[in-house]
Amino acid sequence: MKISFAPPYIDDAVINEVVDSLKSGWITTGPKVKALEDEIKKFCGAKEVLCVNSWTSGAIMMLKWLGVTTGDEVIVPAYTYSATALAVLHAGATPVMVDCGEDFNISVEAIRKAITPKTKAIIPVDIAGFPCDYDDIMSLVKDEDVLKMFQPSSTVQQKLGRILVINDAAHSLGAWYKKDILTGCETDVAIFSLHAVKNVTTAEGGAICLNLPRSFDNNELYKELRQMTLNCQTKDAFSKSKAGGWRYDIVGLGMKINMADVNAAIGLAQMRQYPELLKERKRVFEKYNSAFSKYNWAILPPSKCNGKESSYHIYALRIRNVSEEERDAIIEEIAKHEVAVNVHFIPMPMLSFFREQGYQMADYPQSYKNFAGEISLPVYPQLTDGEVAFVIKIVIEACENVIERG
C-alpha cells in the first residue's frame, strides 16, 4: 500500500471553480481573490484579509510596512521553517532566534529575555497547527517595562507605540485559540499559508489577517496593502482592462506579490467545505492518538489544551529517548513500506546559511530535542481508515525494531 504524505484535496467542486475562472477570461487578480478573502474573513473573524502569492512575501511586506530597517530586531523561534527568519532578513532587519517549549511553540519566557530596545516585532509560529500562548505574548508587549524599552524608528511604529506581533499561522487555519476565538484574529497580524501542502491551498499563496488596534483603520490599511502588492499602482489589472480605464499612477515603492484568480479558485472551493475537511483531518489525528497512546515510546503531539485546539495540519509524533540517528533509522524502515513521512522542522541553526550567520544549535536545546525525535505522519481528508491503520502498523513496527536494536 503506497501512502503519500500531503496530496492536495482536489474534488469536482475545486475543478469546477478553476474551470469557471478559466472560462471567465480573467485569470489574474480579480473577483475570485476577493471572494476568497471574504470567505477566510468570515471563517476566522479577522477584521480584514488580504491574499498574496505566498506567506513569505506577505511577511516581508508587513515588516516593510512596519518600517523595520538595518539594526532593528525581530524575535522568531529557532524551531520553524526558514521562511520565518528569511522574511525578516529580506525586510532589512535581524532575526533574533529563541528556544521553544515542549509543545514545539516559542517560549514566552525566552521572548521576554530576548527583548531589547531594538526589538520591533515578534513572530511566534503555530507549529503543526497548535496555537501559541498569545494572551501571554500580547500581555508581554503591553507590559510597562517592555513599553518603556520600546524605541520606534518609523511613523507606523510610533503610531503603534509597542512591539508588533505577527502570528506565523502558516499551519493553523481552523485552529481554536480559545473556545470562541479562531486563529487569525488573536494578534495584530496573522498570516496563513495557502501552499500546496496546507489544509487549504491555492497551489501557492498566503492570506494576511489584519487586526490592528483602534489607532489604525484596518479597512484603509487593507486598501493600502493591496495597492502595495501591485507595485503601488493606483489601478489593478482588472480595473485597467475596462473601457477607458487605462490610465494609472505609481505612488510608492511596492512589491509584485498579488494572488491570481485561477489560484484563488482552488482555495475558494476548499474554504466553502473546510469545516467538513477539518473534521476528516481530526478523524485521522485521533486514530493516531488512540493507537500510539498505548506505547511508552510515543510522545503525542499537542492537540487540545486550555481551550486551544489544533488545526490538525501535521501529526508531529515524537519518539521518546531516541537519538537523531535512531529517528532517521525509523524513517528508513517506514519508507521501505512506501509510507511517506516527514520531519518538521530542521531547526534553523542547523542549516548552513544560518550557521554561517553565527547561530549555534547549542543555544536552543529544547528545539534540538524536539527535532531529534520527531516524525510527521500523513494527515489529510482523503486517507481512509484502512490506510490510517496501515500507517499505524508500519510506524509501530519500525519504532519497535529500531528501539530493540538500540
Active site residues: 198
- Grid coordinates given for 141: 508587549
Residue 216 CA, distance from chain mean position: 24
| φ/ψ of residue 151, rounded to 5 | -125, 100
Edge-to-edge strands, sheet with 298-299: 298-299, 315-319, 374-377
175 within 8 A of 130, measured Cβ to Cβ? yes
121 within 8 A of 63, measured Cβ to Cβ? yes
Quick count: other Cβ atoms within 10 Å of Cβ 342? Answer: 16
- Grid coordinates given for 125: 509560529
CA 230 – CA 224 distance, rounded (Å): 10
User: What is the pairing mode between strands 176-178 and 181-182?
Assistant: antiparallel
Closest by Cα among 344, 338, 346, 340 to 378? 340
Which H helix or E strand runs over 96? strand 94-98
CA distance readout (Å), 210 to 112, 167, 264, 271 = 24, 11, 19, 19
CA 374 – CA 88 distance, rounded (Å): 26
CA 252 – CA 224 distance, rounded (Å): 10
